[in-house]
Structure 1
Amino acid sequence: MRYDSITDVIGDTPLVRIAPEIHGLRNIDLYAKLEMLNPFGSVKDRAAWNMAQPLIAEDNGRKRRTVVELSSGNTAKALAVIAGMNGLPFKSVTNRMKVPEIKELLLLLGAEIEELPGQAECLDPTNTEDPLTKIHHMLSAEADTYIHTDQYYNPLNIEAHHTATGPEIIKDLDGAAPDYFIAAVGTAGSSTGTARALREHDPNVGVLGLVAHKSDFIPGIRNIDEVHEVGLFDPATYDTIESVSADEAIDGMLTLVRRCGMLAGPTGGAAYFGAVRHLSDIDAELTERKTAVFIVCDRVESYMSYVRKRRPELLRQPARRNSVATLTEAELAAAPVIATGEARRWIADARPLVVDLRGAFAFDALHIPGSVNIVDEIFAELLHGGLPFGRKQPVLLACPVGEQSVKYAALLSRMGHTDVRSLDGGIIAWRDAGGELVRD
């Protein structure tokens, strides 16, 4: 095969059958759509090219505007390549640059990365300084400076998969749509566009959307709260939405990598794990053969640090002591939690150190009087490098809704801290209960 441009290689990715002895489904043929084999390495190549191409052509090199996108991963990578091919700079604005390998690759590609300070996985629904708002402020102030591809709202994201990914699956299944389609939900572009094409061919196609557990981070997947913030997300696209944990995503990834020879990343692992789990119950009731397709979004090589942090034993390394990943269900269940009313009395009587784990922007806006701000990721490192308080110091930990703080309360209890508690419901519950919040 010969092509005039690398962008001509985007699409027409293989559809590969997973051996039944691997997934254990007796009546369902399970196929993987290998989007990892797009030229820039992911399913996002399709949307990036479809969104950027008309905007770059319209610019025609006259203003040399900067391509800008809210992305910390594969969309940014693809756009950085496409922008560079056209002699344009690329800028990523993000609060989710959680994977060092992706950041280093973006820098190698010449991208500018604007990481919003104080942002962390301890997400805050009260924070108005989110990356999308930041981009829109930039565009309002300097409209002639930027080309904004706007992946979370641009219908061309969906169109890339409606006109190509879905029809490719039908073609490779000899003109038939699969009975079931499974996709992880990020921007919702690939799942929405592909599902739309499949259902136009056969309205009975069942669609499963997969999201991350609330307190988990899986690259490329949004959790059930975050997904509702995405402009392209429409719940009606999916018959069912289920969540997958980070551990389950890695387990699925291991099966694809070790048993199937597919060097898939954790997003593809989540799609595989969620597909098999969901289809197992259906499979048991079937009396005729069915087909199912899931998307392998990208490759594993960019996520070694992600695996090392969460499952170091897979890389022949010992688990990092006193990390969230080492908590047991029993320890989490036993973590000391305090309700807002009781917390107010405790603060007045015992004067504990109140540690606010939210981002700096949210803390500066409003916080509990007398509290100190230690962003959750920094707090996690201090667990190993030395905390700024002793084991007998009473401590109240607070984050937006109490999900992350309870984990650190469990870890501190394990480490011998005698009086540490997590604020139940977090700052949101404190605010809703009329608790005092101040701005310094």
Structure 2
Amino acid sequence: MRYDSITEAIGNTPLVRIDPAVHGLRHIDLFAKLEMLNPFGSVKDRPAWHMARPHLEAAAGGGGGGTVVELSSGNTAKALALLAGLYGLRFKSVTNRMRVPEVRELLLLLGAEIEELPGQSECLDPTDTDDPLTRFHQALSEPDAGYLHTDQYFNPRNVEAHAEGTGPEIVKDLEGRVPDWFVACVGTAGSSTGVARVLREHDPGVRVLGLVAGKSDFIPGIRTIDEVRQVGLFDPATYDVMASVSSEEAIEGMVTLIRRCGLLSGPTGGAAYFGAVRHLREVDAGLAGTGRRESAVFIVCDRAESYLSYVRERRPELVGRAPRRGPVVEVSEAAARVVDVAAARRWLAQQEGPRPLVVDLRGPHAYAALHIAGSVNIVDEVFGELVRGGLPFSKSVPVLLACPVGEKSLRYAALLTGMGHPDVRSLAGGIVAWRDAGAPLVRE
């Protein structure tokens, strides 16, 4: 099959039936839509091209030059970097943190510029005018900004790419039938909204299961339930059921797809598979004795290679590393000590006893931009590795943990408390609350 441009190879990805011996569903046919076989490696190839194409063609007609910009730290950024390069343009990825090292390195290899800004969450909140990501987004949207801004969280062409491509392809590959269930991990909400729209045009009875990451957990490409409500394309009416998946479950599903199905899936696809099977088991039991069969489709979003460090951090034995040295004690976050900004400042200013060690869990660029004076920067992924090896500090050292909004620090404070640290506290509201209270911050 011959193409004149790599963009012509975007779409028309396979739909593969998962062997019932793997998933155990007796009355439901489960299919995987292999979006990782798009030419740039992910489901984001479709919206990236659909959103960028008008800008790129206009720029090419004007003699080239300019920069494509997107608030992305993952697959959308990768696809846009490649597309921009095809048209002789630059690409800038703007994010509050690059969480996966392989993705950062790949983006740099693709020629992308990466700008990390301190932000309140992985998604921007357009109503928070004090958030640096929001201010940057507003600046990009101004007519004379000078950037080609694809705006994936709010651009309707994100949804259109799947309504015109992914959804119709599923119906075609099922020979005109519509699946009873569509299972979607929710990131920008573009694929779930676009596919659901098409499927329901064929059959309003289609049920949509939306999967999000557990609160304070991290699965690449999936938002938590708090974050997803900040996404401009998210509409709760799209989903009949919303459920959360943990990072451990995502990796478990990923390993199953790789080792039992020959599908080189990343953790997002693993989360979709795991969440689908878990939910459909009850549906399957209800179909017993009825003589009916149902079908379900989920999306394998991308490939495994970009997430080896993510897997190594959580399941080192899967990549030939020594297992974690002893279990990390899981305790309720209610057991953690939380201090507000005023109490934290009094604690840091006390004259008696050892001064608390302030650990800033944000990325290095956010830390360099603004941080609490005297704090040390240990990125949360690295801090997690330290915790798994045992207490990272002497028990005699009091510790104040700080992250963007207080969620990560709360979790780690609970873990360290459960491991026997007598005085570790989490900064309520994180660095954002510290800044909003007018407490002093310094630049590196």
Range class of TM-score, shorter chain: 0.7 to 0.9
Note the 1:361-380 alignment, pairs <5 A.
372=375, 374=377, 376-377=379-380, 380=383
Structure 2 distance, partners of 1:231, 1:83, is 24
With over 3 angstroms needed to count, the CA separation of the structure-2 counterparts of 1:173 and 1:64, relative to structure 1, is: same
2:216 alignment counterpart: 215
Of 142, 145, 163, 1:143 maps to 145
Structure 1 residues 216 and 381 mapped into 2: Cα distance closer, same or farther (>3 Å)?
A: closer
1:274-353 matches, within 5 Å, as: 274-286=275-287, 287=290, 288-319=292-323, 321=325, 326-329=327-330, 331-332=331-332, 335-338=335-338, 347=347, 353=356
Matches of 1:139 and 1:147, distance apart in 2: 9
1:239 aligns with 2:243: no
Matched, 1:405 2:409: yes
Partner of 2:20: 20
C-alpha change, 1:401 and 1:136, in structure 2 (3 Å) is: closer
Q: Separation in 2 of the partners of 1:32 and 1:49?
A: 22
Cα distance in structure 2, aligned partners of 1:297 and 1:205: 21
Once the two structures are superposed, residues 107-148 of structure 1 have per-residue CA deviations (whole angstroms, 9 ceiling, x without a partner) of: 1211111122x569899987933435324325549523x111
- The answer to whether the 8 Å contact 2:64/2:88 transfers is no
SS at 2:229 equivalent: helix
Q: Retained in 1: the 8 A contact 2:139–2:145?
A: no
Counterparts in 2 of 1:193 and 1:372: CA distance versus 1, 3 Å: same
Cα distance change on mapping 1:15 and 1:141 into 2, 3 Å: closer
| Matched AA of 1:214 | K
The alignment status of 1:53 with 2:56, answered yes or no, reads: no
1:393 aligns with 2:397: yes
Task: Quote the Cα distance in structure 2 between the aligned partners of 1:71 and 1:408.
Answer: 26
Deviation of residue 241 (structure 1)? 1.1
The aligned counterpart of 2:7 is 7
Q: Is the CA contact 2:121–2:404 (under 8 Å) kept in the aligned structure 1?
A: no
- 1:271: which partner in 2? 272
Cα drift, residue 320 of structure 1:
5.2
Q: Which residue of 1 aligns with 2:179?
A: 178
Mapped contact 1:122–1:404 kept (Cα < 8 A)? no
CA distance in 2, matches of 1:406, 1:249: 23
Match of 1:203 in 2: 204
Q: Summarize the Cα distance change of 1:321–1:133 in structure 2 as closer, same or farther, 3 Å threshold.
A: farther
Could you tell me how far 1:381 is from its partner in structure 2?
A: 7.5
- Listed one character per residue, the Cα deviations across residues 319-344 of structure 1 (whole Å, up to 9, x for unaligned) are 4558xxx5233x45695435769968
Specify whether residues 387 and 280 from structure 1 end up closer, same or farther in structure 2 by C-alpha distance, changes over 3 A only.
closer
- C-alpha change, 1:401 and 1:361, in structure 2 (3 Å) is closer
- 2:116 matched to which residue of 1? 115
AA matched with 1:302: S
**Following the alignment from structure 1 to structure 2, what is the Cα–Cα distance between the partners of residues 438 and 341?**
8
Question: Secondary structure, in 3 states, of the residue corresponding to 1:64?
Answer: coil
Q: Is the CA contact 2:329–2:415 (under 8 Å) kept in the aligned structure 1?
A: no
CA distance in 1: counterparts of 2:384 and 2:15, whole angstroms: 42
| Cα gap change, 1:382 to 1:155, in 2 (>3 Å) | closer
Q: CA-atom RMSD, angstroms?
A: 3.6
Question: Judging changes above 3 Å, is the alpha-carbon distance between structure 1 residues 231 and 349 closer, same or farther for their aligned structure 2 residues?
Answer: same
Give the gaps of 5 or more residues in structure 1: none
Q: In structure 2, list runs of 5 or more residues that go unmatched.
A: none
Task: Provide the rounded CA distance (Å) in 2 between the counterparts of 1:256 and 1:315.
Answer: 16
**CA shift for structure 1 position 19:** 0.8
Call closer, same or farther: CA 1:405–1:41 in 2, change over 3 Å: same
Q: Is the 8 A contact 2:120 2:432 kept in 1?
A: no
**Which residue is 2:93 aligned to?**
92
Deviation at 1:85, TM superposition (A): 1.1
Aligned equivalents of 1:246, 1:33: Cα separation in 2: 21
What is the Cα deviation at residue 94 of structure 1? 1.4
Q: 1:25, 1:378 → 2: CA distance?
A: 36
When residues 344 and 130 of structure 1 are mapped into structure 2, their CA distance, relative to the original with a 3 A threshold, is closer
Tell me which residue corresponds to 1:134.
Answer: 136
| Percentage identity across paired residues of the two chains | 60
Give TM-score, length-normalised by structure 2. 0.84
> What is the correspondence of 1:27-42 to structure 2 with a 5 Å cutoff?
27-42=27-42
Measured at CA, do residues 57 and 276 of structure 1 come closer, stay the same or move farther in structure 2, by a change above 3 Å? same
**Partner in structure 1 of residue 358 of structure 2:** 355
In structure 2, the residue matched to 1:69 is 70
Contact residue 129 and residue 361 of structure 1 kept, 8 A:
no
Structure 1 residue 55: Cα displacement: 1.3
Q: Is residue 44–residue 76 contact of structure 2 (8 Å, CA) maintained in 1?
A: yes
Alpha-carbon separation, structure 1, partners of 2:55 and 2:410: 46
Give distance in 2, aligned partners of 1:380 and 1:436: 27
Cα deviation for residue 39 of structure 1 reads 0.8
